[in-house]
Amino acid sequence: MSAALDRVALRDAVQREAQRLGFALVGVARAEASARRAELEQWIHDGKHGEMQWIADRVTEAADVRTLLRGARSVICVADRYHTGAADRVEVGRGRIARYARTKDYHDIIRDRLRRLGRFVREHAPSSETRLTGDIHPILEREQAARALLGAIGKHTLLIRPGLGSYFLLGEIITDADIAASDEAPPSDATHADSTDPCGQCTRCLDACPTKAITPWSVDATRCTAYLTIEHRSAIAPEFFGSTGDWWFGCDICQEVCPHTQATRASRRAGTNEQLAPRLDSIDLLEVLGWSEADRARLVVSSALKRATLPMMKRNALLALASMVRHDPALAPSVLARAAEIERDEQEDPMVRDAACQLRGCSAID
């Protein structure tokens, strides 16, 4: 067992170990109550969490990490960078996948290294306990990351690291070890960002969001394509058909337009985690409509795409096709004919038939 380190030395050692494990960013925040609890409660009260009931059920944990580990003092925050910001090549008839879901399932990639980092903390702070979060517990992880000086939150609510953008996957370890916070003592190197407003007068993400889901520093999930295509398990409201663009799973528009995310020579040089190399960036939408469970199963092996069921995948394909036929009339005859077939197919899932109906502009299934 290693000798116990003092608070600052422990922080520096944790930081070095996180970097050795391949995390692009690392910092430490004090384990404290969120400053945004009232805002979160209002957001839920307004129904902006949609069908994500687990958020409403776990506000107390989300708003105070100390409820997840008795005596918690510190939150170690890490981030993997998964994309350099290079633009996509858009292809007719193909639905795009959000960049974070193009890779091997990020949960496995982050969790394994977080476990190793937790072990490191316990070795260097004897008798300490650690608890992993990162999608396991619904904590306000962007707020924690900003407190740990990993970056600052933009109007689109995502963490921005000036010079590197916002394509980050976050993870945290809550611990009762007393570790110096990143804002407590001068950083020993250039790994920390300042936490001031990264947006200024910019409104690009608000203007570009196709469904007007963003108000500064808040996103109405029920209007966001990422929520609608990944978390929303039921039929999608008619108003979104034709307006969400070519996104099949998730949406990156607010990040694509952000000035901080534009690829520069320096940001390309900074690179990404190699384990998060993209495997599949888009999918043939008409093909998806003919898929069986076995086809879906082949696609989702070790992939975050498994969050969508087969009916959701078909519903999402029809949603993306609804936008495509608006902009590409040449595509309309084949798409509308296929949608009519689906709508008549009594063996098909009702949610998929409903989406086919919405695509064709009708109001209900017979």
Residues lying near ligand SF4 in the complex (CB under 6 A) are found at: 154-156, 198-199, 202-205, 209, 211, 213-214, 219, 224-226, 251, 253-254, 257-260
- Toward ligand SF4, which CB reaches closer, 22 or 259? 259
Per residue in 288-320, is it b (16+ CB within 10 Å) or e — as a string? bbebeeeebeebbeebbbeebebbbbbbbbbbb
| Minimum CB distance to ligand SF4, residue 161 (Å) | 12
Region of residue 13 (phi > 0: left; psi between -120 and 50: alpha; otherwise: beta): alpha
283's CB contacts (< 8 A; 6+ apart) are 94, 95, 97, 248, 299, 317
- Toward ligand SF4, which CB reaches closer, 93 or 154? 154
Of the candidates 21, 138, 25, 6, which has an alpha carbon nearest to the alpha carbon of residue 76? Answer: 25
Annotated catalytic residue within 57, 64, 88, 135 = 135
- Toward ligand SF4, which CB reaches closer, 24 or 205? 205
Burial bucket for residue 247 (CB in 10 Å: 0-12, 13-18, 19+):
buried
| Minimum CB distance to ligand SF4, residue 358 (Å) | 18
* Intra-chain end-to-end CA distance of the chain, in Å: 70
- Toward ligand SF4, which CB reaches closer, 66 or 204? 204
| Minimum CB distance to ligand SF4, residue 108 (Å) | 24
| Minimum CB distance to ligand SF4, residue 104 (Å) | 22
Of the candidates 229, 340, 236, which has an alpha carbon nearest to the alpha carbon of residue 289? Answer: 340
- Toward ligand SF4, which CB reaches closer, 211 or 272? 211
Of the candidates 175, 6, 145, which has an alpha carbon nearest to the alpha carbon of residue 74? Answer: 175
Residue 30 token pair? 């004090």
- Position of minimal CB gap to ligand SF4: 154
Q: Residue 12 catalytic? A: no
Residue 182 token pair? 């990143």
* Residues designated catalytic: 135
